Chain A
Amino acid sequence: MQRINDDVLNKCRDLIENGTCDRVLAWEEGEFCYDVTPAVFTGDTLGKMIYDDFCAANQSKYLIDESHKEGRIAALLKPCDTYSFNQLLKENRIKRENVYVLGVPCDGKIDAEKARGLGIKGILGAEIDGDTVAFETIYGKKTCSKKDVLHEKCLSCKGKKHMIFDELTDPEKEPETAVPENGTSRFDGVSKLENMTAEERFRFWRGELSRCIRCNACRNVCPACSCRQCVFDNPASGVSSKANTNDFEENLYHIIRAFHVAGRCTDCGECTRVCPENIPLHLLNRKFIKDINELYGEYQAGYDTALDAPLTSYTKQDAEPGIVHERGVR
């Protein structure tokens, strides 16, 4: 299986050779087909660089540190990563001049865990042909539809258009506008929860959030969580966040985190991707996004770096606090 498009690799080589950049942020191959790791490459190591349908991680957060180093880094950003990149620029977390955004096309990324859920065990390799994925496994060849093994974040893809880039590796593939990829709205899951009774909804979230093992993967991967020190890591905060005794505290952790990133969360879906307990954390964030859309008008964090954010700007048309009571408990 070829793991990187020659054009992408050659483009990166050019960028280094002509002095535009001195290193590239991309992915490194693992033991199997799916366990790829974000990595930085230099001219000497470019040969190990890959980018394929398993490279799901949002690379933008690495650029906070990378852009503060000397030199300029080329970053392979997928369309969804560029929303986070914009948002981090807006928050002055990334030094723009030290990053060369190389927009790479994306056809949706494959989640090995979803394949395991379908009974495809012992995955060694995979061949992707259009909508079909043929897995090579310890237990023989297994085929499935690509849609059935896509990451949750890809199932609700915001579109294939890059929100920001210095160059595209495949300009012909770039659409004019960002059009959601699947037929269903990404807020369907939220609507379903909204239509539950308060008690049903409470039970749903208790069931999901009580599995939390408090590994903090969701927070640490989140591009919106870029505080130098998180309040939950501060022993003086009075919260014993390390003690997983009272699962209600774990529940609150996620709710507080969702509040904290509200208006800044681009819905990149990394929280759900990395959760070892498969908690659908994106539903919390999407609820906030849906509410913001309904109360303040359509807003997409990371769409650009200029638009005023609804929760940090004031207009006379803003919803009054009483809206909470009006919308209230069903």
Chain B
Amino acid sequence: MSKMYKISKERLDELYAAVSAVKSLYLPVRSGENQSEFKKWSDQSDVCLDSLNTVKSAKELFFPQSENLISFKVSGKDIELVEDRDPSEPFVLFGVRACDAKSFSILDSVFLSDPVDTFYKSRRENGTVVTLACRAPEETCFCGTFGIDASDPAGGDVKTWLTDTELYWEAVSEKGEELTKLLTGILSEADADADTKAVDDLKKNTKEILARLPLADLKLDYFSGDRLNEKLNDVFYAPQWQELYKSCLGCGTCTFVCPTCQCYDIRDFDTGHGIKRFRCWDSCMYSDFTKMAHGNPRTSQLERFRQRFMHKLVYYPANNGGEYSCVGCGRCLAKCPVSMNIVKVIKAFGGEKA
């Protein structure tokens, strides 16, 4: 295990400033009343580490909601291709919860598999992820269902724990060690006994809360096992969908706040002076999702609604060694306008207590 460091809570602005001096720093910043989003830090930023979930997840730092891929300039019969990709500056992503940190590996399986998405890859390589353990999970949290430990987040480069007085800091990767080295004047070495105990107490306390969360017993038995591929048709044609989809408004809220939704659209936009080819998040809930020359393969909201959950609970795990593309962050539970969400779907398929 790497050495533990700490900094007092009052001095966090110094930490932010020190990181910011070398790399761009993104962290949860107040956005609207009582909410937060990952934004670039400045000394004016209203940082809120006590907010559990940002509205949009941290995936946006690696997979932006919209980005330009390439431009075309047309003059006469000549078409010039202009590479105008954002070179992606080195950055630090601070305050990532365990659920969001886990989502990165789910996105990696998609974007870093052949053919590698070089836009995503360069951002992943340039980004250093500093996680923040949870202290006060919400009723909507169910990361435990996916084997995620919110008290001790995996998947980042540095782990941190925030108590009432201190931020504890532990590098867990080479990138994390490098960042720690840059902060030698700011972080101080943690005490082997007292501070280790403080972190252990925090972990223990969080674990105790996690164990009694209302969704702590949510089980995915119906969607598990090696025979998921064979079961695919059973799930696809299950009568449950006939009822579940009905309230769905067909908006994109669940997909846009989701840390693992990865579908995108690529379009050409005529600027009047040339063509910009852009990529942007898409939502399987939208009527024009995967629209092709002949039309749309999913013509009803039932099919579109089913697609989202089939992808998360069946297609993705069937293709990725049984790993689900949900991390239990609970954003869709909190944000769906009609409170229809993945937990209700799982329960409709018998995901009650084992």
**Same assembly:** yes
> B34 to A276, Cβ gap below 8 A?
no
A123 CB within 8 Å of chain B: yes
Q: What sequence of 0s and 1s flags, for each residue 189-231 of chain A, a beta carbon within 8 Å of any chain B beta carbon?
A: 0000000000000000000100101111101110000000100
With A31-B344, A138-B139 as given contacts, are A220 and B249 in contact (CB-CB < 8 Å)? yes
Q: Which residue of A lies closest to B340 (CB)?
A: A37
> A113 to B34, Cβ gap below 8 A?
yes
Give chain B nearest CB distance to A304 CB in angstroms: 27
Q: What sequence of 0s and 1s flags, for each residue 102-145 of chain A, a beta carbon within 8 Å of any chain B beta carbon?
A: 00000000001100110001111000000000000111000000
Q: Which residue of B lies closest to A35 (CB)?
A: B339
With A113-B334, A122-B139 as given contacts, are A277 and B344 in contact (CB-CB < 8 Å)? no
With A40-B246, A213-B65 as given contacts, are A276 and B253 in contact (CB-CB < 8 Å)? yes
Chain A residues near B253 (CB-CB < 8 A):
215, 217, 274, 276
Q: Which of A14-22, A93-101, A235-243, A257-265 participates in binding chain B?
A: A235-243
With A36-B339, A215-B252, A243-B280 as given contacts, are A31 and B267 in contact (CB-CB < 8 Å)? no
A284 CB within 8 Å of chain B: no
Q: Which of B109-152 contact A (CB under 8 A)?
A: 136-139
Chain B residues near A243 (CB-CB < 8 A):
66, 267, 269, 278, 280
> A57 to B214, Cβ gap below 8 A?
no
CA distance A229 to B288 in the complex (A): 10
Interface of A is mostly: loop
- B288's contact among A112, A214, A235, A273, by CB below 8 Å, is which? A235
Give chain A nearest CB distance to B84 CB in angstroms: 12
- B136's contact among A112, A139, A215, by CB below 8 Å, is which? A139
CA distance A216 to B270 in the complex (A): 23
With A37-B339, A240-B269, A243-B66 as given contacts, are A213 and B56 in contact (CB-CB < 8 Å)? yes
Q: What sequence of 0s and 1s flags, for each residue 39-62 of chain A, a beta carbon within 8 Å of any chain B beta carbon?
A: 110000000000000000100001
> A245 to B31, Cβ gap below 8 A?
no
Chain A residues near B34 (CB-CB < 8 A):
113, 116-117, 278
> B251 to A244, Cβ gap below 8 A?
no
> B337 to A244, Cβ gap below 8 A?
no
> A35 to B333, Cβ gap below 8 A?
yes
Q: What sequence of 0s and 1s flags, for each residue 242-269 of chain B, a beta carbon within 8 Å of any chain A beta carbon?
A: 0100110111110111000000010101
> A213 to B55, Cβ gap below 8 A?
yes
> B278 to A211, Cβ gap below 8 A?
no
A310 CB within 8 Å of chain B: no
Give chain B nearest CB distance to A57 CB in angstroms: 6
Residues of B within 8 A of A (CB-CB), count: 55
Q: Which residue of A lies closest to B264 (CB)?
A: A242
B212 CB within 8 Å of chain A: yes
Chain B residues near A235 (CB-CB < 8 A):
267, 288
> A124 to B68, Cβ gap below 8 A?
no
With A233-B288, A277-B35 as given contacts, are A244 and B280 in contact (CB-CB < 8 Å)? yes
Give chain B nearest CB distance to A281 CB in angstroms: 12
> A245 to B136, Cβ gap below 8 A?
no
Chain A residues near B136 (CB-CB < 8 A):
121-122, 139
A73 CB within 8 Å of chain B: no
CA distance A141 to B214 in the complex (A): 16
B314 CB within 8 Å of chain A: no
B239 CB within 8 Å of chain A: no
> A240 to B337, Cβ gap below 8 A?
no
B335 CB within 8 Å of chain A: yes
B343 CB within 8 Å of chain A: yes
Give chain B nearest CB distance to A171 CB in angstroms: 29
Chain B residues near A75 (CB-CB < 8 A):
none
> B214 to A31, Cβ gap below 8 A?
yes
A38 CB within 8 Å of chain B: yes
Chain B residues near A245 (CB-CB < 8 A):
66-68, 278, 280
B290 CB within 8 Å of chain A: no
Q: What sequence of 0s and 1s flags, for each residue 58-95 of chain A, a beta carbon within 8 Å of any chain B beta carbon?
A: 00001000000000000000000000000000000000
> B257 to A276, Cβ gap below 8 A?
yes
A187 CB within 8 Å of chain B: no
> B338 to A122, Cβ gap below 8 A?
no
CA distance A179 to B32 in the complex (A): 31
CA distance A276 to B298 in the complex (A): 26
CA distance A261 to B250 in the complex (A): 20
> A217 to B251, Cβ gap below 8 A?
yes
CA distance A242 to B343 in the complex (A): 28
> A37 to B338, Cβ gap below 8 A?
yes
Chain A residues near B67 (CB-CB < 8 A):
245
> B32 to A279, Cβ gap below 8 A?
yes
B209 CB within 8 Å of chain A: yes
User: What are 9 contact pairs spanning A and B, CB under 8 A?
Assistant: A34-B339, A37-B247, A124-B139, A215-B252, A235-B267, A240-B269, A242-B281, A270-B337, A276-B257
Instruction: Supply 17 further A-B pairs (C-beta < 8 A) apart from A138-B214, A245-B66, A278-B32.
Output: A35-B333, A37-B340, A38-B338, A113-B34, A123-B139, A213-B55, A213-B65, A213-B256, A213-B257, A215-B252, A215-B283, A220-B251, A221-B251, A221-B337, A240-B278, A242-B267, A243-B66
Name the 9 nearest CB pairs between A and B, nearest first: A274-B337, A117-B34, A35-B339, A217-B251, A220-B249, A220-B251, A215-B253, A245-B66, A215-B252
